[in-house]
Amino acid sequence: MTDHSQLFIGGEWVAPSGKETIEVISPWTEEVIASVPAGTPEDVDRAVAAARGALKSGPWSTMTLGERISIVERLRDLMLENAEELAQITTAEMGCPISQSRAIQVPNPVGILQAYVDTIKTYPFEEVRRSANGQALVVREPVGVVAGVVPWNVPLSLTMQKLIPALLTGCTIVLKPSPETPLDSYVVARLLQEAGCPPGVVSIVPADRDVSEYLISHPGVNKVTFTGSSVAGRRIAEICGKDLRRVTLELGGKSAAVVLDDADLGIVAEALRMGSFRNNGQICTLKTRILVPSKRRDDLIDHLNAMLDTMPIGDPSADATQVGPLVSARQRSVVEGFIESGRAEGGKIVRGGGRPDIDHGWFVEPTIFADVDPDATIAQREIFGPVVAVMSYESEEEAVAIANSTTYGLSGAVFSGDPLRGVRVARQLETGAVEVNGNPAGFLSPMGGVKYSGLGREFGKEGIDPFIEFKSIGIPAETAATLD
């Protein structure tokens, strides 16, 4: 890895205003692998000023949608050309197994980018609306300067979720990557330059929490888009609420997989390989509560154990590895605290619960709890590690009640031999998305949560709207006729 001495502000590489740095530590070797400058409030001021300048003047303010699409498509092509570099960096900085970085951490961001391009081509930036008391030209304009705050678990995907709709709608954006994973953002900055993104449109400022709050509350920022914990999201909502600043929040989850009595347990276990344990358990949509009929509990646990037997733990850069280390020593400590809580509250560990026999790296064994009370801490709070809770139920109604019993509502799953029955149960779950028999909704469908899992949606046309301000222009009937 390379130490970086500059920040990407206003489309240029510039010296930081401060002298502090952020050290990037390998979750595998536990050694420093790179460093980047720690952004300061002064750096944020420069980035926001550049974004406001590009919004109001220069080539960005006059570019057509087609021209913006061309820049984004060029970025897509460059990401594909540099896919291996991006995959290797992601694995090095946060511990995702390289096989998953190659299959998920880079292809998904490219898929997100392409889905937004496909959506924007038919997005109604202007339309005429008529009513009994008037007619209007309804126009959709860029919301302005966007602050995008990106977490460490899938950094490139979440960067694209914020960057691409901002660019396509004509906004400008200041990205704040996580201190744990800033290195991929340096590649993105380089590729944006190669793609021809005009100066000022994108700035990237790695920083700690205090500077992040400074960015979020900056008077020059019109909208905040954040992905992260529900605790942090509530704090951001509080800050934005004071100034009525637009905000989109994609927050934590405690998603349930409802296994119905007619489900094929082989299909269930294989779906939960990635559905519960990918990225070392560090994904907000993972199904960490597995609800199963009492009479099928033992069979399901056998299937899960057999599946985990085929997921080697170890060096995340090795092709065979399917479970790597957690992102940091702190995160491992948090996960181990939840495991102890599960034991103390009566949960039965049927697999894992400790650290593997590896002499370095922030590992936690994939862990299965059984006989977990639905009100237990590990059934109610997001763990963000390779830990699942198996809970038994007696009726379909009880399963739905347990699934809906947390303060979260981000994702979910239903498994059934009858997909239509699965859809019927899915409709009863209080969550933003549900997968039936492991089938994802895709990047053209809105994603987001209810309850403490967030505000707003990303993906699809619903993911474009938060970057838009609506304006209604009352016009004469004869003018409306010329605009149809």
Residue 484: its pLDDT value, please? 82
Q: Is 80 exceeded by the pLDDT of residue 308?
A: yes
Q: Which of 93, 180, 250, 435 is catalytic?
A: 250
**Average confidence score pLDDT of the chain:** 97
For residues 178-205, give the mean pLDDT: 97
Residue 221: its pLDDT value, please? 98
Domain parsing of the chain, residue ranges: 7-251+449-472, 255-436
Residue 2: its pLDDT value, please? 82
For residues 340-346, give the mean pLDDT: 97
For residues 319-345, give the mean pLDDT: 98
Q: Is 90 exceeded by the pLDDT of residue 461?
A: yes
For residues 300-306, give the mean pLDDT: 98
**Predicted confidence band of residue 3 (pLDDT cuts 50, 70, 90):** confident
Q: Kindly list the strands in the beta sheet with 172-176, ordered across the sheet, starting from the edge strand earlier in the chain.
A: 12-14, 7-9, 202-204, 172-176, 145-149, 223-227, 246-250, 454-455
Residue 298: its pLDDT value, please? 97
Q: Is 90 exceeded by the pLDDT of residue 95?
A: yes
Q: Is 80 exceeded by the pLDDT of residue 24?
A: yes
**Predicted confidence band of residue 122 (pLDDT cuts 50, 70, 90):** very high
Is the full-model pTM beyond 0.75? yes
The answer to whether residue 284 is catalytic is yes
Residue 138: its pLDDT value, please? 97
- Kindly state which CATH superfamily the domain 7-251+449-472 is placed in: Aldehyde Dehydrogenase; Chain A, domain 1 (3.40.605.10)
Residue 386: its pLDDT value, please? 98
Per residue in 59-82, pLDDT tens? 999 999 999 999 999 999 999 999
Per residue in 42-59, pLDDT tens? 999 999 999 999 999 989
For residues 177-190, give the mean pLDDT: 98
Comparing 484 with 357, which gets the higher pLDDT?
Answer: 357
For residues 225-230, give the mean pLDDT: 96
Residue 58: its pLDDT value, please? 87
Q: Which CATH architecture has domain 255-436?
A: 3-Layer(aba) Sandwich (3.40)
Residue 407: its pLDDT value, please? 97
Residue 447: its pLDDT value, please? 97
Q: Is 80 exceeded by the pLDDT of residue 1?
A: no
Residue 60: its pLDDT value, please? 95
Per residue in 243-273, pLDDT tens? 999 999 999 999 999 999 999 999 999 999 9
Q: Which of 284, 336, 365, 458 is catalytic?
A: 284
**% of the chain at pLDDT higher than 90:** 99
**% of the chain at pLDDT higher than 70:** 100
Per residue in 396-455, pLDDT tens? 999 999 999 999 999 999 999 999 999 999 999 999 999 999 999 999 999 999 999 999
For residues 446-469, give the mean pLDDT: 97
